[in-house]
């Protein structure tokens, strides 16, 4: 697995890449980075070219400044695909990344061979309270104080004590910890808050793809969700499955919001079986016109 960096339209875009074969693009969630896919990239790369970008303002990618909408993120992923010479791919999106993947399938259907939604946003109003709270005025100050170096150091110290005592954090706790640690950087907090407020308000998720889901009928679609997801309820998975004709649904038991990190082997098996059993979508302008008018 190699780390890459490329300059696109004046900003630095970082990514991870591995393997060869059909392209698979893995899109991470909010406050996360391409590292969230570390547990599944090696296995997937045995049969595919796997590209995991850092979204703008996340990981090593620089902030774009101004526009943190789903459309802007989708355009950045599209730009990276063009820069790397990847004409089309299976798009896999987790949480916010699921919304970005759906936006890509809508904006750039010719680049989407398959769509895989993992604990995805954009499929219903409900979302965890703490994310809604971060849209309130003053959240910048609270987040800055809560992610100060002193607080982060204290947390790392406690985590070290627990490890020495033989207590290991679960994969889900580890992912949350990495997201939290990334917010020590002011630019990462800026990216989080701007991105968050573009898709969520105090009432919940305010950007919905539900009116576009029937358009995905021509795109092989897999929906993967943790049975115990405490961030975005599993009911959204069932609703999306009902709304997308021909879609596949995988609910992972004893699993929370990070199926790819909590159950990496099961996740890889589900994704690999799905890709083996489906043919890549090819969307024509004529077909798109029929779907839009339907």
Active site residues: 95, 229, 257
In which residue ranges of the chain is CATH 3.40.50.1820 found? 2-126+204-293
Name residue, tokens 């069932």.
238
Q: Is the pLDDT of residue 283 over 90?
A: no
pLDDT, residue 2, reads 85
pLDDT, residue 169, reads 61
Q: Is residue 98 within 8 Å of residue 74, measured between CB atoms?
A: no
Name residue, tokens 């987790």.
94
Residue-wise pLDDT for 141-187, tens only, equals 877 777 766 655 545 554 454 456 555 567 888 888 888 788 888 88
Nearest to 91 by CA among 105, 79, 80: 105
Q: Is the pLDDT of residue 25 over 50?
A: yes
Residue-wise pLDDT for 38-84, tens only, equals 999 999 999 999 999 999 989 889 876 778 899 999 999 999 999 99
Distance of CA 211 to the CA centre of its chain: 20
Residues 96, 108, 58: CA angle, nearest 5 degrees: 35
Residue-wise pLDDT for 90-114, tens only, equals 999 999 999 999 999 988 988 999 9
**pTM for this predicted structure:** 0.90
Contacts of 153 (CB under 8 A, 6+ apart): none
pLDDT grade for 215, boundaries at 50, 70 and 90: confident
CATH 3.40.50.2020 fits 2-126+204-293, yes or no: no
Q: Is the pLDDT of residue 122 over 50?
A: yes
Q: How far apart are CA 276 and CA 162, in angstroms?
A: 42
pLDDT, residue 113, reads 96
Q: Is the pLDDT of residue 260 over 70?
A: yes
Share of residues in the chain with pLDDT > 70 (%) = 89
pLDDT grade for 22, boundaries at 50, 70 and 90: very high
Residue 144's φ and ψ, nearest 5 degrees, are: -65, -45
Q: Is the pLDDT of residue 267 over 60?
A: yes
Q: Is the pLDDT of residue 193 over 60?
A: yes
pLDDT, residue 93, reads 98
Q: How far apart are CA 51 and CA 70, in angstroms?
A: 19
pLDDT, residue 161, reads 46
- Residue 254: count of CB within 10 angstroms of its CB: 9
Distance of CA 201 to the CA centre of its chain: 19
pLDDT, residue 162, reads 45
């Amino acid at each position: 697995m190699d780390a890459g960096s490329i300059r696109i339209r004046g900003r630095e875009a970082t990514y991870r890449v591995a393997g060869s074969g059909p392209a698979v693009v893995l899109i991470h969630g909010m406050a996360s980075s391409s590292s969230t896919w570390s547990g599944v990239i090696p296995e997937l790369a045995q049969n595919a070219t796997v590209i995991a970008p850092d979204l703008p303002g996340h990981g090593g990618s620089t902030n774009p400044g101004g526009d943190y909408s789903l459309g802007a993120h989708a355009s950045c992923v599209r730009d990276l695909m063009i820069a790397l010479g990847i004409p089309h791919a299976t798009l896999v999106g987790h949480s916010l990344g699921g919304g970005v993947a759906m936006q890509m399938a809508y904006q750039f259907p010719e680049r989407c061979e398959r769509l895989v939604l993992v604990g995805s946003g954009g499929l219903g109003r409900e979302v965890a309270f703490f994310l809604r709270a971060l849209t309130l005025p003053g959240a910048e100050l609270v987040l800055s104080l809560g992610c100060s170096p002193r607080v982060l150091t204290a947390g790392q110290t406690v985590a070290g004590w627990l490890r020495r005592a033989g207590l290991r954090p679960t994969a889900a706790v580890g992912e949350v910890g990495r997201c939290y640690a990334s917010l020590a950087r002011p630019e990462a907090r800026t990216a989080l808050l701007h991105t968050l407020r573009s898709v969520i308000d105090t009432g919940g998720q305010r950007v919905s793809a539900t009116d576009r889901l029937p358009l995905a009928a021509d795109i092989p679609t897999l929906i993967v969700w943790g049975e115990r997801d405490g961030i975005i309820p599993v009911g959204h998975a069932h609703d999306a499955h009902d709304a997308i004709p021909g879609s596949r649904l995988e609910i992972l038991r004893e699993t929370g919001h990070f199926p790819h990190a909590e159950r990496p082997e099961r996740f890889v098996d589900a994704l690999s079986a799905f890709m083996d059993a489906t043919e890549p979508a090819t969307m024509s302008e004529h077909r798109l016109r029929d779907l839009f008018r339907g």
